[in-house]
Structure 1
Amino acid sequence: MSRLMLGDCVQIMSRFPDTAVDFILTDPPYLVNYRDRSGRSIAGDKNAEWLQPACNEMFRVLKPDSLMVSFYGWNRVDTFVAAWKKAGFRIVGHLVFAKTYASKSAFVSYQHESAYLLAKGRPTLPANPLPDVLPWKYTGNRHHPNEKPVSSLRPLIESFSMPGGIVLDPFAGSASTCVAAALSRRRFVGIELLPHYHAAGLRRLSAVQRAMLHPAANDEIPEAA
């Protein structure tokens, strides 16, 4: 059964049984107190008090010999890496998503996103490994100020989990991971703290699931309905 849940991810994950999920794909707050041009913000982005408890729970609920992909704030990388390692994860890869546009400019023009590939135990190597540089499609951030493109998430899910497996995103935002999992024929559990992003995610999932159940001839299933 797939669900997008509303609430605090540490509290919700604490009720999950051990080793319950097959793959974790998540985009946690970057710890930069982010606010976009329209004033939208992200819960938990001001301090890291949630980070270690969340990492501990993610490690506990992930099956042995399985993988997690986590985006992170590049200027807080030391904080994220320390929390992952303390929880028990090993770093086994790094992913870069190349943009065709700049999301911000300072000393340099920011034209990529990045994520770490983390292992619990010794996962089996994929038969056809993904390249560590992948394309990125601009979403317009319609549903969330840091909305990740479904087209960039699907290859991760399809490479690092099996059909029918359970994909967990404890920081689900507007449910891009859940949409990607549904399109990839995986079950999913998403958790989002803020009600307005949770509601946006439910709307997206409903639209995508309707399109999957009743596809019109030659119509493309929407990635961000």
Structure 2
Amino acid sequence: MFRYVLGDSVQVMSTFPAASVDFILTDPPYLVGFTDRSGRSIANDMNGNWVLPASREMFRVLKPNSLMVSFYGWNRVDTFVSAWKQAGFRIVGHLVFAKQYASKSAFVGYQHENAYILAKGRPPLPADPLGDVQSWQYTGNRHHPTEKPVASLQPLIESFTQPGAIMLDPFGGSGSTCVAAAQAGRRYIGIELLPDYHAVGCRRLAALRSRHAA
């Protein structure tokens, strides 16, 4: 199963059978109204009305005894954690991705990204657990204003799934998680609401398939 779908994630996930994906890795809007220097923005980044419905759908479609890794906005952590717990997830770990640069400065320079590890049921432990502080490569945000590096995503997929597993990203952006899944030998389903970013993701995945076919 290799799909990159254009649409609203809650609506699209509602069409999936329950317990149909092995792992979720996602980077949802941080609820901060972000706009980059070129004026690019992110859909549904102004309010959190979607967080609980999306969390419930993610819990429903995830197989029992499986994991979700979700990035989040640190200053909206109460919204995300409340929704995850209401949906049924347990927090079982936390990841910090250390940057060599500051993406923004206010009271301090912002030099890391965060993600929670969330469990449905009792997933098995990885054979060789990753450290909870991981490195981060600057992407230049060429494809998306909050683009995550494939090199930081792929080890998570390889650690928390087996080859051939189905990974879901309901907030797919420009497709970085799906590229990482494909490179790791996993199947993927990505969902993105905005047509421009969805088109970029489709092009990236097509280019990856072409390289593998060559």
Fold in common (TM above 0.5): yes
- Match of 1:94? 94
**Equivalences for residues 1-225 of structure 1 within 5 A:** 1-214=1-214
Q: Deviations over 1:161-194 (max 9, x none)?
A: 1100100000000000000000000000000000
RMSD: 0.5
Q: Whole-Å Cα distance in 2 between the matches of residues 138 and 8 of structure 1?
A: 28
1:96 to partner: Cα distance: 0.3
Report the TM-score, using the length of structure 2 for normalisation.
Answer: 0.99
1:212 to partner: Cα distance: 1.7
Aligned residue pairs: how many?
A: 214
Q: Whole-Å Cα distance in 2 between the matches of residues 153 and 22 of structure 1?
A: 16
1:210 to partner: Cα distance: 1.1
Q: Whole-Å Cα distance in 1 between the matches of residues 167 and 101 of structure 2?
A: 29
1:213 to partner: Cα distance: 1.9
Q: Whole-Å Cα distance in 1 between the matches of residues 213 and 113 of structure 2?
A: 33
- Match of 1:219? none
Name the SS for the 1:191 alignment partner.
strand
Name the SS for the 2:205 alignment partner.
helix
Amino acid at match of 1:209: R
Q: Deviations over 1:86-124 (max 9, x none)?
A: 000000000000001110000001100010000000000
Identity of matched residues, % = 73
Amino acid at match of 1:105: S
Q: Whole-Å Cα distance in 2 between the matches of residues 125 and 210 of structure 1?
A: 35
1:37 to partner: Cα distance: 0.5
Amino acid at match of 2:2: S
Q: Whole-Å Cα distance in 2 between the matches of residues 112 and 26 of structure 1?
A: 17
Q: Whole-Å Cα distance in 2 between the matches of residues 81 and 24 of structure 1?
A: 16
1:127 to partner: Cα distance: 1.0
Q: Whole-Å Cα distance in 2 between the matches of residues 24 and 123 of structure 1?
A: 13
1:211 to partner: Cα distance: 1.1
1:153 to partner: Cα distance: 0.2
Amino acid at match of 1:60: R
Give the unaligned 5+ runs of structure 1.
Answer: 215-225
Q: Deviations over 1:49-78 (max 9, x none)?
A: 111000000000000000000000000001
Moved over 3 A (4+): none
Name the SS for the 1:119 alignment partner.
strand
